Chains A and B, each alone.
Chain A
Amino acid sequence: MNVRCVVRVCVLVAAAIAVLSVPVWAAAPIKIGIIGPMNFVQGKGHWNGAVMAAEEINAKGGVLVGKERRKIELVKSDSNEFLNLTDATNAMERLITSDKVDFIVGGFRTEAVLAMQDIAMDNKKIFMGAGAAHPELCLRVAKDYKRYKYFFRVTPFNSNYLVRTSFAHMGFVGAILKKELNLPQVKVAIVAEKAVWVDPMIEAAKGVIPKMGMEVVGTWRPSAVATDVTAELSAIQQSGANLIFTVFSSSVGIPFARQAGELKVPAVQVGINVEAQKDGFWEATKGMGNYVFTTNTYIRGVEYNNLTKDFVEGYYKRFGETPTYTADTHTAIKEGLAPSIEAVGSLDADKIVAHLENREYLVPSGKVKYEKDAQGRPTHDLTWGPGYLTSLGGQWQDGKFVGVWPNKWVAAPGAPEVTYKGVVPYKIPPWMKK
């Protein structure tokens, strides 16, 4: 073999290595920015959900864009929005203009999301909101569709529906109490943390509860970070309440549940208790949080449809905890964006918007259909109700958080009865039956 031949072989081998191994030959990835308060549980949910979606999509070779498969590349961005609004907007600007992401998913605090939404809209980037519940975010889409059409809500459904769901939970438990305990009328104590977002909910509750055939015996407003609520609990006990409608998003949810359990207050807790949604609630209340009922998006063992189990168990296996609703970044990417990108065959935001807003698709928490307002204008808000998104009602029963609602739920006269797979009967605390 002469020298020239050796050189030719070397060149060919080098070229083959270059073609096979250098990533520049691969299609550019689709960059998705995940923005959220990354040092808080909400942001961790955002990131974990997105990581899971990217891993699942990439394991199948990526997203088919036209004729090429493109992998998902995630860009993590800490918005720090609980502490600093300016930080949140800077993070969004950086994602779009420096990291040059194709899509953005995340956001939590409404004031920050409003500001971030404007930056995304300026740059005509699709922004899928996965945390803020205020209706205003989607009202903007209806009011100025041309500018705000790139915004979609992924989770949760808007706060008006959240209130409606909580009342449905209260009605569900109230009916059980009335029947099981032979009560002529269920007496309700409203206990809500001192926070601005709670105020309209209390007013609504005061109006709705009598219409549901129950009586409001009083309203208590402990501090959101109270560590002792025995005074409130004694007063509730004195009032003769059978049901405590709770609205807690902060740490007060733990002492309230623990002390109510210690005192064996003869009233069930129903409503929103964010602390009770967490896996560590049982230990935090030392088991005294037994029978606490709270709304939640995911509960292990409860299936909305055939996507739920894979997602919830997969998430639990991967991250060691039950997913919270902000982990629906998974839904946004896997069931929302990816199929629409494949359908339109490009990353063109306008084409994806046109496709996405008209889709109806299954997600692990139900079915997504984007709403239109009374005038027929797209809002890109989530449809709530049987057959779509409803969320769940969960109860702590002897150390396990189980799904108890919807169980033969009829949303309106004539509507179909809804019961999800894995839902178990609601339990009344034994000390109330005496």
Chain B
Amino acid sequence: MTMISPAVQLKRLVTLVRTEVLVLPSRVIVAMFVLALLGLPLVSQNPYLIRVIILTSVFAILAASWDLLSGFTGQMNFGHALFFGMGAYTSALLNIHFAIPPWGSVPMGALAAVLTGLIVGIPCLRLRGTYLALTTMAFPIILMGIVFALPDLTGGELGISGLQRLSNSLVGNYYIYVVTMLVLSAVMWKITDSHTGIIFHAIREDELAVRASGINTTRYKLMAFCLSGFFAGISGGMYAHYMRIAGPSTLEVSMSFSVVIWAVFGGLATIYGPIAAVFVLFPFLEFVRFWPEYRTMIFAVVVLLILLYMPEGIVHWARDKMEKECPRCKIRNVATRKSCRVCTALLD
């Protein structure tokens, strides 16, 4: 086995960054965003700021998981809080009643959400569009009914409180949440970029054609429900452990709608769009605390204006302003270029 010297490795890394990252503004922004997130505690350890970023990361996973199901596969889910709440409650129950530490309870919560995805997915397979959306919306309400019906187990309206945190240190928690968000986002993006992701996309565009190609769409749709449930379940479990409480608010209709707003605001079928939207909207809602009476109204106006002028989402809009797609090879180029950086075809 030949050893590659550190100098060569570094040179390769520099070349990779120069040829793959620095060539496109969107990639530069993503790289800077990741670096900024990872470097933030070195600049400031303000607990409030750290808290906002941690919760933003949790909701970013949730929003991206919705995009995986509804954005890519077109299975319009208006009850995504079901997976989030399931993850939160399962983690909380395991942590409190069976003393399972968060490292175990969060993945198990995610598995419970996968199971839920399967249970929800099966009856939903026959439904489409509005009917599917309305049906999915009912599921978190059903789970909330169960929560209230079993107060000895679920804590009823109080929820389950006193959960352990993933880490007792401020910075430790920050890195656990941020790195998990980055890794899970990358995994979700990779899934959508894979063979499976292409089938998901195809199901959304024309399910009949996919079935005519001999692909078992039922299996893929169920897979989408389960995968989405898994990631949303992780975010639910992490949320519960950070807040140290899993309560009925995790299942509220407003939670499901927030996810849809984030995803649409960022741009559907992108994964990074909903993540960007959460990183814009969640801190923005905190920023407008200076005007508490009009906070929600300002938020609503901003969302409406953005969607009015950027109907495909903020990420698509920003990307189209900064970059152009080559008409011949479909490779993206910086908007100032006259010819494609790969095939040299004229861009205008």
A-to-B contact residues, CB < 8 Å: 38-39, 76-78, 80, 83-87, 89-91, 93-94, 96-98, 110-112, 114-115, 118, 134, 136, 140, 196-197
Contact = CB atoms under 8 A, between A and B. Distances in A.
B51 A111 contact: no
Interface of B: 46-48, 51-52, 55, 148, 156-159, 161-162, 243-245, 247-249, 254, 285-286, 289, 292-293, 295-296
B292 A111 contact: no
Contact of A97 (B48, B159, B161, B254): B48
A78 B295 contact: yes
A94 B157 contact: no
A234 B46 CA distance: 61
A91 B292 CA distance: 11
Contact of B286 (A76, A90, A97, A140): A90
Contact of B48 (A38, A83, A84, A93): A93
B282 to A, nearest CB: 9
21 contacts: A38-B292, A38-B293, A77-B292, A78-B289, A83-B296, A86-B243, A89-B243, A90-B52, A90-B55, A91-B289, A93-B48, A94-B48, A94-B286, A94-B289, A97-B47, A110-B157, A110-B158, A115-B243, A118-B161, A118-B245, A140-B162
A86 B295 CA distance: 15
A197 B248 CA distance: 13
B54 to A, nearest CB: 10
Contact of A85 (B52, B249, B292): B249
B244 A118 contact: yes
Given A39-B292, A111-B249, A114-B245, A90 B158 contact: no
B161 A115 contact: yes
Contacts, number: 72
A91 B51 CA distance: 11
A136 B247 CA distance: 14
For the complex, would chain B's binding face be called helix, strand, loop or mixed by DSSP majority?
A: helix
Given A38-B292, A78-B289, A97-B47, A85 B157 contact: no
A89 B286 CA distance: 11
A118 B55 CA distance: 16
B70 to A, nearest CB: 22
A219 B211 CA distance: 55
A178 B52 CA distance: 60
A78 B248 CA distance: 21
A86 B157 contact: no
A76 B289 CA distance: 10
Given A85-B247, A90-B55, A111-B159, A78 B292 contact: yes
Given A84-B254, A94-B48, A112-B249, 12 more contacts: A38-B293, A77-B292, A85-B249, A91-B289, A110-B158, A111-B157, A111-B158, A114-B159, A114-B245, A115-B245, A136-B161, A196-B157
A136 B48 contact: no
Contact of A93 (B47, B157, B248): B47
Contacts of B48: 90, 93-94, 97-98
Given A39-B293, A196-B157, A111 B47 contact: no
A129 to B, nearest CB: 14
A114 B148 contact: no
A93 B46 CA distance: 10
A85 B245 CA distance: 10
Contacts of A84: 249, 254
Contacts of B52: 90
Nearest to A84: B254
A369 to B, nearest CB: 26
Contacts of B158: 110-111, 114, 134, 136
Given A78-B292, A114-B161, A134-B158, A97 B55 contact: no
A45 to B, nearest CB: 16
Closest 4 CB pairs of A and B: A78-B292, A85-B249, A111-B247, A97-B47
A407 B248 CA distance: 41
